[in-house]
Amino acid sequence: MSRAACIAALVFATALVFAASDGPPPWAYGFPSAAGATPSAPVAAPPAAASAPDVAPRPLTGSAASFTLAQIRDGFGPADWFPGDHPQMPEIVAHGKKPDVRACSLCHYPNGKGRPENAGVSGLPVAYFIQTMADFKADARKSSDTRKANTNLMVTYAKNMTDEEVKAAAEYFAAMTWTPWIKVVEAAIVPKTRIAGGMFIALDGTATEPIGDRIIEVPDDTERTESLRDPRSGFTAYVPVGSIKKGETLVTTGGGGKTTRCAVCHGADLKGMGPVPGIAGRSPSYTVRQLFDTQHGTRKGVWADLMKPVVANLSNEDMLAIAAYTASRP
Ligand code: HEC
Ligand code: HEC
C-alpha cells in the first residue's frame, strides 16, 4: 500500500470508529444527556401538584365533554374528547386489558396521532402493524436506550395480547389516514425545555438556548397536550439550520452511495407503499430512534433486513437531517 493510501485508509477507519461509537442521541430518546452522564444543568421541575386530589372536570375547546385529570390519564379508559374524529374503537384500543395491557388510546390517542415519545400509529399498513407487534413480542424490537421505559411497556403489551386483539387494533388504526400535525422549523436558537415522561416541553417565559445537534420537538400548547392530552393539539419540531436541505439530498439521491433513495420502498411521496409504512410528516424524534435502533440491531425484525443497508453508513448527524426532511414532508 502506498503511503497516501495508507493514510487514507487510516482516516477512513478513524471516521468509521467515530460513526460507530456515536451513542444513541439522548434528545431522540427523551433524555437530557447520555446514560451515565451527569446532566449539565438540571432544569427545575414545575411546582409539585397540590396535595388535595384535583377532581375538577376540565373542559376542552371544541369538545362537548369534560373530564377530570384522573379520567384523562386512566390507563384502562382514557378520555375520548372527540368521538366523531374516529371510527368506533375496539375494546383493546379504548380500554386495554387488565392487568397488563393499557389502552392504546392512552399513549397513541384515539385518533392514532401519538406523541414524540411514542409513535403515530394511524395510517400504518395492517400487515406492517401486525409484523411490528410480532417483533415487539419476540424481543426483536427494543430501544437502544434501555432507560426508555415506555418502549419496554410496548413489549409487555405485545406479549399479553391475542392475535385477534392485535388485528383489531391494526385494522382500526389503518382505517385512518395519517395527516401532518408537526410543524418543522429551522432555528439556531430554541426555547429552553424541560422533559416530562420523555417529551420535551418549552419552559414558561422567554428563556432560550442554542439548538446544538438536536431536534427539539415541543407541544404547541403545553396545557392542552400535557394536562388534557388533546389529540388535536399538534407539535413544533425545531431542527438545525440547513438540516432539511441536507436531509433532502440524502433521501432523494442516496447521498452518492451513502444510503438508498427512500422512495424506492416508502413510495414516491414517502407516504408508504404496499406493506411498507409511510415516513412523511411523522415525528422526527421517533424517526431517528427507529433509524438508530435499526443500525444498532436493537430493532431487528424480519423486515428490518431491508432497512439495514439503508442505515449502515449513516452518522447520527445524517439521521437527524433525514428526519428533519421526512418530518417536513406533507
Ligand atoms: C404507555 C404508552 C403506550 C401505550 C399504552 C401503547 N403504546 Fe404503542 N408505543 C409506545 C411507544 C413508546 C412506542 C415507540 C417505541 C420506540 O420509539 O421505541 C410505541 C410504538 C407502537 C407501534 C409501532 C409504530 C410504528 O410505526 O412502527 C405500534 C404498532 C404500537 N405502538 C401499537 C400499540 C397498541 C396496539 C397499543 C394498545 C394495545 C399500544 N401501542 C399501547 C407506547 C405505548
Ligand atoms: C429496500 C426497501 C427500503 C428502503 C430503500 C428504505 N426503507 Fe425504510 N423501511 C423498509 C421496511 C421494509 C421497513 C420496516 C422495517 C421493520 O419493520 O423492521 C422500513 C422502516 C422504516 C422506518 C420505521 C417506520 C416506523 O413506522 O417505525 C423508518 C423511519 C424508515 N424505514 C426510514 C427510511 C428512510 C429515511 C429511508 C431512506 C434513507 C428508507 N427508510 C429506505 C424498507 C425500506
Contacts of residue 198, defined as CB under 8 A and 6 or more positions apart, other chains included, come to 29, 30, 31, 116, 117, 148, 150
Residue to mutate, 111, 135, 154, ligand 1, most ligand atoms under 8 Å from C-beta: 154
Residues at CB less than 6 angstroms from ligand 2: 132, 251, 259-260, 262, 264-266, 276-277, 279, 287, 290-291, 299, 301, 303-304, 306-307, 310, 322, 326
Which segments in the chain show pLDDT lower than 70? Answer: 1-21, 38-50
C-alpha dihedral over 304, 309, 315, 317, to 10 degrees?
-70
Q: With contact defined as beta carbons under 8 Å apart, do 184 and 163 qualify?
A: no
- Looking at residue 36, its pLDDT comes to 83
Q: What is the distance in A from the centroid of ligand 1 to the CA of 220?
A: 22
Only one residue has cell 407539535, namely 235
Cα–Cα distances (Å) from 254 to 145, 199, 248, in that order, read: 27, 31, 9
Residue nearest ligand 1's atom 8 by CA: 154
Q: What is the distance in A from the centroid of ligand 2 to the CA of 291?
A: 8
- Looking at residue 314, its pLDDT comes to 98
Ligand nearest to the CA of 90: 1
- Looking at residue 41, its pLDDT comes to 53
Q: For residues 323 and 79, what is the distance between their CA atoms, to the nearest angstrom?
A: 31
Q: What is the distance in A from the centroid of ligand 1 to the CA of 325?
A: 23
C-alpha dihedral over 61, 171, 30, 202, to 10 degrees?
-20
- Looking at residue 46, its pLDDT comes to 57
Residue nearest ligand 2's atom 8 by CA: 307
154 lines ligand 1 (CB under 6 A): yes
First to last CA, the chain: 50
Q: What is the distance in A from the centroid of ligand 1 to the CA of 152?
A: 10
Only one residue has cell 431536534, namely 215
- Looking at residue 216, its pLDDT comes to 98
Q: For residues 176 and 130, what is the distance between their CA atoms, to the nearest angstrom?
A: 16
Q: What is the distance in A from the centroid of ligand 2 to the CA of 170?
A: 19
- CB neighbourhood size of 257 (10 A): 8
Q: What is the distance in A from the centroid of ligand 1 to the CA of 317?
A: 26
Residue nearest ligand 1's atom 36 by CA: 104
260: cell is: 438508498
Which residue type does 159 have?
K
- Looking at residue 300, its pLDDT comes to 98
